[in-house]
A and B are shown apart, each in its own frame.
Chain A
Amino acid sequence: MADTVQEDATQKNGTLLGADELVLNMGPQHPSTHGVLRVKLKLDGERVRGTECVIGYLHRGVEKIAEHRTYQQFAPYVDRMDYIAAVSNGLGYCEAVEKLLNVEAPLRARVIRTILTELQRIASHLIWLGTHALDIGALTPLFYCLREREEILKIFEKYCGARLTTHAFRIGGLQYEAYDGFEKDVERFCKDFERRIKEYVDLLTGNSIWIGRTRNIGMISAADCIAIGASGPILRASGVKWDLRKAQPYAAYDRYKFEIPVGANGDTYDRYMVRMEEMRQSRLICLQAIENIPEGPILGKVGKVLKPPAGEIYHSIEAPKGILGYYIVSDGTIQPYRVRIRPPSFVNLQAFDKMVRGHLVADVVAIIGTLDIVLGEVDR
């Protein structure tokens, strides 16, 4: 399927259709779009000549809502953006407000945050792996992935009572102390997970159908990634060894050793390999962190009414999907004057057109899958 890729990737997105061309509407209700994404495909036979994404079906106006809530009241809303990585969203928001307040969470809180966030990264990548494989036609990995994700969700549930939209963190630290046996649960999961990852590898990595469907599909160069703003595993699969956890460490990442996996070709297969390795690295971070969770308080001195001094802050973290940034402006009152959220999925989706041109219709679902978008975050 990859033989005649890129032949006219440079062709401009003309609006007039040629005699051989037709427009196919895909979505908004389509099982492989992972939500409500509508894509207009301009086709020449089976080959894609141009695309247009229509988004906004899940727009809830969270940035407007933020201006009518206090800082604490808005925190649960961010869980509903990237709802399969709610913990990461919460971490970014809490840290941004903490910076605005000029306080820092205690070390113990930061370590527990790191553990939960890395577990969330694994859970998010598991959903990606299962659904991506399902889109391409491999049914089995989905069940395996959901089985392991369940273990992570159980840890979240025991920690804070919620599985999906957790609201696990509070501004200034944590609301809840780690429960008895938290370390043991994390350790058991991590020990077990090493074996589980091998099962996915056996199913997919050397599978010739998998390779045929993913290698040289949706190639994108490092320069294009940066120009278009694509970040996270997409950027790394194109060969840029860059990760915000290393570049500008937050939470407690500077305490742990881990590698940044990179790809070479920037194709769908490389992105698969990068995300698989990221899961292994997240597992290692969790194992290092539970060895020594420092004692101490879990909530810093922030007070009940938060009134950050007037000013502004930008803080971004490496969410499972890429750079997740919060730009918050305070006017000195209890409500934020403006909250801007830089969602990784929204920006990454811009790369779709570049990736898909010249490919066959069947590859479109593979490329949507490899982008790993969550429409709740694209539309906000």
Chain B
Amino acid sequence: MADESKAPQQPESPEPDATGASQAPPAPKTATPSTPPAAPKSAPPAPKPPVALQIPLDNELVRRYRDRFGAAILDAVEDRKQSYLVIDAVKLSDIARYSLDEEKFDLLEDFTVVDWPRREKRFDLIAILYSFPHNHRLRLKIPVAANERPASLVDIWPTANWLEREIFDMFGISFAGHPDLKRILLPDEWQGHPLRKDYDILQQDTAWVRENLGIESGQ
């Protein structure tokens, strides 16, 4: 496949939520995993003047969170009419508990991760909350570093159980306090965490072909 040859998927344009003051400046290039710099795609070198899709958010809800947690709410953004809060991983449990008990976000609709390998805190945990009484959604975005162990949300939303296992499986983030953290979709003996950006599917394939078929490459 032609488009697999440019496997290292480094973002070229500014990262979408880099507006947040929270985000540490990208780590120097040498710190990125041993992938060559991304081949230039057809994207124009300079992005068009921003059309302010991400705007700072300041409504009742955000104010309540800010009053309660102060500096732990690193940023509040509205992107295409959907709001998210960037929060400090240290306060994750407290904020989650407050969201459930006080703000009535009773459903953790999804819990997932986006990998930004060039950042100091490379993973963004994304918790998508839905409130049945108010019929609205809120995303919590929690930057964590590769060696960090964020608190598990299983006690607060039991649905996080398998979602966190999937995150562990695909990204290798382990959660403190998860009752049964092990791989869920991949076999237990699998090496690596496939949804990380530096997990090269072509390399994986070639290695398997070399080992099992004794030829240089199947591609």
B23 contacts the other chain (CB 8 A): no
Closest to A348 in B: B159
A68 contacts the other chain (CB 8 A): yes
| One of B13, B17, B162, B183 near A332 (C-beta < 8 A) | B13
A311 contacts the other chain (CB 8 A): yes
Q: Across the interface, which residues of B come within 8 angstroms of A325, CB to CB?
A: 109-110, 128
| Minimum-distance CB pairs A-B, first 5 | A229-B159, A56-B185, A332-B13, A310-B16, A342-B110
B158 contacts the other chain (CB 8 A): yes
A158 contacts the other chain (CB 8 A): no
Contact residues of B between 153 and 212, Cβ < 8 Å to A? 157-159, 161-163, 170, 183-187, 194-195, 199, 201
Contact residues of A between 194 and 213, Cβ < 8 Å to B? none
User: What mask results when residues 199 to 231 of chain A are scored 1 for a CB within 8 Å of chain B, else 0?
Assistant: 000000000000000000000000000111100
Decide: A327 near B128, CB < 8 A? Known: A67-B9, A311-B16.
yes
Decide: A310 near B47, CB < 8 A? Known: A56-B184, A350-B162, A379-B185.
yes
Could you pull out 20 A-B pairs where Cβ atoms are within 8 angstroms? A56-B183, A64-B195, A64-B201, A67-B9, A226-B106, A226-B107, A227-B157, A248-B135, A305-B42, A310-B15, A312-B17, A323-B109, A325-B109, A327-B110, A329-B16, A332-B13, A334-B43, A335-B3, A342-B128, A347-B162
Establish whether residues A310 and B13, one from each chain, have CB atoms under 8 Å apart when the complex forms: yes
Q: Across the interface, which residues of A come within 8 angstroms of B54, CB to CB?
A: 311
Establish whether residues B135 and A247, one from each chain, have CB atoms under 8 Å apart when the complex forms: yes
Question: In whole angstroms, how far apart are the Cα atoms of A187 and B187 in the complex?
Answer: 48
A280 contacts the other chain (CB 8 A): no
Establish whether residues B80 and A350, one from each chain, have CB atoms under 8 Å apart when the complex forms: no
Establish whether residues A100 and B80, one from each chain, have CB atoms under 8 Å apart when the complex forms: yes
Question: In whole angstroms, how far apart are the Cα atoms of A349 and B201 in the complex?
Answer: 29
Question: In whole angstroms, how far apart are the Cα atoms of A247 and B163 in the complex?
Answer: 24
B108 contacts the other chain (CB 8 A): yes
A338 contacts the other chain (CB 8 A): yes
Question: In whole angstroms, how far apart are the Cα atoms of A64 and B137 in the complex?
Answer: 26
| One of A64, A68, A229, A309 near B53 (C-beta < 8 A) | A309
Output the least CB separation between B200 and chain A (Å): 11
User: What mask results when residues 139 to 161 of chain A are scored 1 for a CB within 8 Å of chain B, else 0?
Assistant: 00000000000000000000000
User: What mask results when residues 29 to 60 of chain B are scored 1 for a CB within 8 Å of chain A, else 0?
Assistant: 00000000000011100010001011000000
Closest to A61 in B: B194
Establish whether residues A314 and B139, one from each chain, have CB atoms under 8 Å apart when the complex forms: yes
Q: Across the interface, which residues of B come within 8 angstroms of A311, CB to CB?
A: 16, 53-54, 79-80
B1 contacts the other chain (CB 8 A): yes
Question: In whole angstroms, how far apart are the Cα atoms of A347 and B132 in the complex?
Answer: 18
Establish whether residues B13 and A342, one from each chain, have CB atoms under 8 Å apart when the complex forms: no
Output the least CB separation between B138 and chain A (Å): 10
Question: In whole angstroms, how far apart are the Cα atoms of A57 and B89 in the complex?
Answer: 33
Establish whether residues A229 and B187, one from each chain, have CB atoms under 8 Å apart when the complex forms: no
Q: Across the interface, which residues of A come within 8 angstroms of B128, CB to CB?
A: 314, 325, 327, 342
Establish whether residues B41 and A334, one from each chain, have CB atoms under 8 Å apart when the complex forms: yes
Establish whether residues B112 and A340, one from each chain, have CB atoms under 8 Å apart when the complex forms: yes
User: What mask results when residues 46 to 66 of chain A are scored 1 for a CB within 8 Å of chain B, else 0?
Assistant: 000000000110010101100
| One of B17, B109, B137, B170 near A342 (C-beta < 8 A) | B109
Q: Across the interface, which residues of B come within 8 angstroms of A337, CB to CB?
A: 9, 11, 16, 114
Decide: A312 near B16, CB < 8 A? Known: A59-B185, A59-B186, A323-B109.
yes
Question: In whole angstroms, how far apart are the Cα atoms of A229 and B112 in the complex?
Answer: 15
A240 contacts the other chain (CB 8 A): yes
A88 contacts the other chain (CB 8 A): no
Establish whether residues A227 and B16, one from each chain, have CB atoms under 8 Å apart when the complex forms: no
Establish whether residues B110 and A55, one from each chain, have CB atoms under 8 Å apart when the complex forms: no
Contact residues of A between 224 and 271, Cβ < 8 Å to B? 226-229, 240, 242, 247-248
| One of B4, B42, B79, B114 near A334 (C-beta < 8 A) | B42
Q: Across the interface, which residues of A come within 8 angstroms of B162, CB to CB?
A: 346-347, 349-350
Establish whether residues A331 and B110, one from each chain, have CB atoms under 8 Å apart when the complex forms: no
B126 contacts the other chain (CB 8 A): yes
Closest to A346 in B: B162
A307 contacts the other chain (CB 8 A): yes
A124 contacts the other chain (CB 8 A): no
B145 contacts the other chain (CB 8 A): no
Establish whether residues A338 and B114, one from each chain, have CB atoms under 8 Å apart when the complex forms: yes
Output the least CB separation between B165 and chain A (Å): 10
A188 contacts the other chain (CB 8 A): no
